[in-house]
Amino acid sequence: MDFFKSAQAVNRFEYVTQTGSTNTDLVAQASANPSDFPSFSVLVAGAQTAGRGRTGRVWVSPPEKSLAISVLVRPSAWSKEDFGWLPLAAGVAMRSAVKVALPHAEVGLKWPNDVQVSGKKISGILSELLPDASGVVIGAGINLSLELSELPIPESTSLLLEGWTGSPDDFLLVYLKKLSELLSDVNLVRAQVKNDCNTIGLRVRAIFPDHSEAVGVAVGIDESGRLLINVDEQSQLFAVSAADIQHLRHN
């Protein structure tokens, strides 16, 4: 794959055909040689063999049919308390890129940062803090040209299946440019996440790491990026920081 345009838009760019995990690699490299990895250093792979999703899921991508994208950000203008907004910013940026690639599709952003096309997952985000807390590596996976039989789960899709005919470089460039724009202002991120997140207003089920659940209506996102749920038969809003969110079709 050729990423000439994308490489010109960032401070450091590397593409590898395959690796275990771009997040793991970039965290290790940036930690070992910080002076060689400025903010907005990018590592992209055409395939992963040991990628990870949220809540411990395995993210494996077949060769040349998906992109694993890891971006190192050292947002000097952001407080560390706002770092939780970084993966949400990536979700907004990825939704924008998918919308450009599929202008006639229904593209949604499910909290916190899953991008969906007509309700089917096409991208997910996972961020990791550097060991010295000097920055965050934001990892994103996007299904480019997977056929129906190659999809990781039945409730997923790919750009190809939705009618995309563009180039990986053009797609990646849109994502990186939008992410860079968002990282200039945390208030812009807050506003765009709240505007783009289609989880708000829906009845949802939150499934927590300990397998407990909460069901109710998602009514907003607080200043920390947590999803606010009006849980059934409770008078106070419930703030969710980490959970698997399911959109429920009916009341």
Tens of pLDDT along 75-90? 888 888 899 899 999 9
18-43: average pLDDT: 96
* Stronger pLDDT, 75 or 201, i.e. the higher one: 201
Note the pLDDT of residue 250: 56
Range(s) of the chain covered by CATH 3.30.930.10? 4-196
What would the pLDDT profile of 113-153 be if each residue is shown by its tens digit?
A: 999 999 999 999 999 999 999 999 999 999 999 999 999 88
Interstrand relation of 12-16 and 41-45 (parallel, antiparallel or unpaired)? parallel
| Residue 234 clears pLDDT 70, i.e. is over it | yes
Q: What is the pTM of this model?
A: 0.92
What percentage of the chain exceeds 90 in pLDDT?
Answer: 82
Give me the DSSP letters along 6-23: HHHTSSEEEEES-BS-HH
Range(s) of the chain covered by CATH 2.30.30? 203-247
Cα-based distances in Å from 69 to 85, 137, 213: 18, 10, 31
| Residue 51 clears pLDDT 90, i.e. is over it | no
Q: How far apart are the first and last CA of the chain?
A: 46
Q: Does domain 203-247 have CATH number 2.30.30?
A: yes
Q: Which two tokens stand for residue 120?
A: 């089917």
Note the pLDDT of residue 153: 86
Residues 6+ positions from 57 with CB-CB distance below 8 Å: none
Q: Which two tokens stand for residue 90?
A: 């990536």
pLDDT band per the 50, 70, 90 thresholds, residue 13: very high
Q: Domain 4-196 is classified in which CATH homologous superfamily?
A: Bira Bifunctional Protein; Domain 2 (3.30.930.10)
